[in-house]
Amino acid sequence: MSNEELTERVRRIIATTQHLSEDKVTADSTFAELNIDSLDGINILFAVESEFNINIPDEAAQTIRSVRDVVEGIAKLLAEGPVRA
Amino acid sequence: MNRRVVITGVGVVCALGHNSLEFWQALAEGRPGIRPIESIEPGLLRFENGAEVRNWDPSRHFDEKEAGMLDRFAQFGAVAAREAVADAGLEWSRELREETAIVTGSCVGGQGTEDEGFLNLYRKNIPRVNPLTIPRTMENAAASRISLELGVLGPTFTLSTACSSSNHAIGHAFWMVRSGAARLAIAGGSEAVFSLGFLKAWEAMRVVAPDTCRPFSKDRRGLILGEGGAMLVLEPLDFARARGARIYGEVMGFGMGSDAFHITQPSADGAARAMRAALSDGGLKPEDIGYINAHGTATQANDATETAAIRNLFGSHADRLQMSSTKSMHGHTLGAAGALEAVATVLALRHGILPPTANYTEPDAACDLDVIPNQARRAQVEYALSNSFAFGGLNAVLAFRSA
């Protein structure tokens, strides 16, 4: 999956879970700019885990603060291969 | 006219033991009951440790038919109430039964029963759900069971305010006895959290520690879930004296409030207001308090916020306070937490031993209070608070006095 495609999918997930229009969520948006708080953040990670079938560790989750952090995190986890059960 | 309200009986079931004596021995020794979770198949959860009630055999406490009517959470509540009532040495009369209140707390009631019943329906395509799912699941199942066992006929109800449930329950029971609305109260709470669906939901909240519960420690990584129940018998001081009852301690005050801030994030202002309300209700000043049984969940957010609230309310007296989180030993039992911690606090005052914050490794500048690390401490304290701050921003604090 290209980085552009991944970014598009992440933007769509964030827009859907946060009930925002997709053009508000850019590749450069931070969670603070989008008014995404800690509970919104874990809800987004839940949607991301489901869409990509990955497990995001709690430690990694705590450092995610922007759309770019989400995209980079997913790319790294996808590169590690499919998750166990 | 307000009556003074004292505690004359306590009962506990939790990871530290099946009665209040075992509970207290573990607390005084600083011995945690946190171990690998046995009731869930390994590998299905990101975390592996919990504070389960070990070796629980319902047939030791209930006949087979009765046990089948009761979810685990109601069993814990009923057995804790039996111990508390026996401990209080009550002699029941028709009048006392009519004037006794039962107030319990539970966050999720019989969710294990519900999980099992719905698993059959959704997953195994069994089109029928056991009718006992309803009476087993209802959050008042423990209160109703206690009433049935004792023949108690007075006001009996259950409060559900997430992690503050039991403190709200004990606080309301206290107010009823204080005002004369009830002559006696059995109050506390119980919870059974170890079912896969519920644990997966906690996993998704990302607040459960992968290792253990280290409240106020810099390397804390979250809470550890626990299960159990605890009950207290509350009665007016004059009634207790007249019948020669043993008095564990006095309930001085109860304070509660809402953060109106965020559905899951804590608020230092809300926590401080609830503590202030408990002091005010008991006619106490901040300087009177010597010990606080903290909410102390060991999440990054709670422990720093609770510390800030205490510093804000107590000012320079905060440096003379001793505080511990016994969740480091019995885990976070959600709706039962306030009840377990009320018993822990009352026993601490009675024995002159303050239980420690176990599993503590490293000071955190954001939690710079005396948290009694790892070793219980001998200290005669007259007044103490026990804090509960719930998801949903609902706070409830009890104030106690040694007997």
- Beta strand segments in chain A, E: none
Give the distance from residue A66's alpha carbon to the nearest chain B alpha carbon, in angstroms: 18
| One-letter amino acid for residue B185 of the chain | A
pLDDT tops 50 at residue B146? yes
pLDDT the model gives residue A85: 43
Q: What are the pLDDT digits (tens) for B362-371?
A: 999 999 999 9
pLDDT in tens, B310-345: 999 999 999 999 999 999 999 999 999 999 999 999
What pLDDT does residue A1 have? 83
Bridge partners (DSSP) of residue B208 are: B223
Encoding tokens for residue B275?
């503590």
Task: Give residue A81's pLDDT band: very low, low, confident or very high (50, 70, 90).
Answer: confident
Residue B44 to chain A, least CA–CA distance (Å): 8
Lowest mean pLDDT among A77-81, B83-87, B254-258: A77-81
Span B216-227, average pLDDT: 98
**Digit-coded pLDDT (tens) for A55-72:** 999 988 889 999 999 999
- Paired with B251 in beta bridges are B5, B400
* Strands (E) located in B35-108: 35-36, 49-50, 100-105
Q: What are the structure tokens assigned to A60, written together?
A: 């990694």
Task: Please check whether residue B96 is in contact with residue B239, taking contact to mean a CB–CB distance below 8 angstroms.
Answer: no
Residue B9 reports pLDDT greater than 80: yes
Measure B266 CA to nearest chain A CA, in Å: 11
Looking at residue A84, its pLDDT comes to 52
B209-237: average pLDDT: 98
Q: For chain A, how far is it from start to end, CA to CA, in angstroms?
A: 23
Contact call for A45 and B46, based on CB within 8 A: no
DSSP, residue by residue, B201-224: HHHHHT-B-SS---TTBTT---B-
Q: What is the pLDDT of residue A83?
A: 60
Mutation target among A38, A58, A83 for the B interface, most CBs of B within 10 A? A58
Q: Which residues of B touch A40 (CB under 8 A)?
A: none
Q: Which one, of B237, B220, B232, lies nearest residue B294 by Cα? A: B220
Cβ within 8 Å of residue B258, ≥6 positions away: B270, B393, B394, B395
Nearest-angstrom CA–CA distance, B321 and B310: 10
| Contact flag B206-A61 (C-beta cutoff 8 Å) | yes
**Helix count and strand count (H, E) for chain A:** 4, 0
Per-residue pLDDT tens over the stretch B272-318: 999 999 999 999 999 999 999 999 999 999 999 999 999 999 999 99
Average pLDDT, chain B: 97
Average pLDDT of chain A? 92
- Rounded to 5 degrees, φ, ψ at B359 are 65, 20
Residue B207's closest CA among B225, B226, B223? B223
Question: Cα distance from B339 to chain A (closest Cα, Å)?
Answer: 28
pLDDT in tens, A15-26: 999 999 999 999
Chain B residues in contact with A46 (beta carbon < 8 A): 204
pLDDT band at residue B1 using 50, 70 and 90 as cut-offs = confident
DSSP string computed for B120-183: HHHTS------TTHHHHHSTTHHHHHHHHHHT--S-EEEE--GGGHHHHHHHHHHHHHHHTS-S
Q: Closest by alpha carbon to B191, among B228, B136, B159?
A: B228
Q: Which of A23, A28, A37, A40 is catalytic?
A: A37
**Cβ–Cβ < 8 Å for B165, B173:** no
B295 a catalytic residue:
yes
**pLDDT value of residue A82:** 64
Beta bridge mates, B228: B14, B191
Split at pLDDT 50, 70, 90, the class of B239 is very high
What mean pLDDT comes out for the span B61-89? Answer: 97
Residue position matching structure tokens 């009177």: B288
Q: Which value does ipTM take for this structure?
A: 0.84
From chain B, which residues contact A within 8 Å (Cβ)? 43-44, 46, 204-206, 210, 221-222, 262-265, 301
List chain A residues with CB under 8 Å of B265: 37-39
User: Does the distance separating the beta carbons of B262 and A42 come in below 8 Å?
Assistant: no
Whether the predicted pLDDT of B207 surpasses 90: yes
DSSP per-residue letters across B337-370:
HHHHHHHHHHHHHHHTEEPPBTT--SB-GGG-SB
To the query of whether residue B14 is one of the catalytic residues in this protein, the response is: no
Cα separation, A72 vs A6, whole angstroms: 9
> Tens of pLDDT along B94-137?
999 999 999 999 999 999 999 999 998 999 999 999 999 999 99
Cβ pair A58:B262 closer than 8 A = no
Active site residue A23: no
Does residue B243 register a pLDDT over 50?
yes
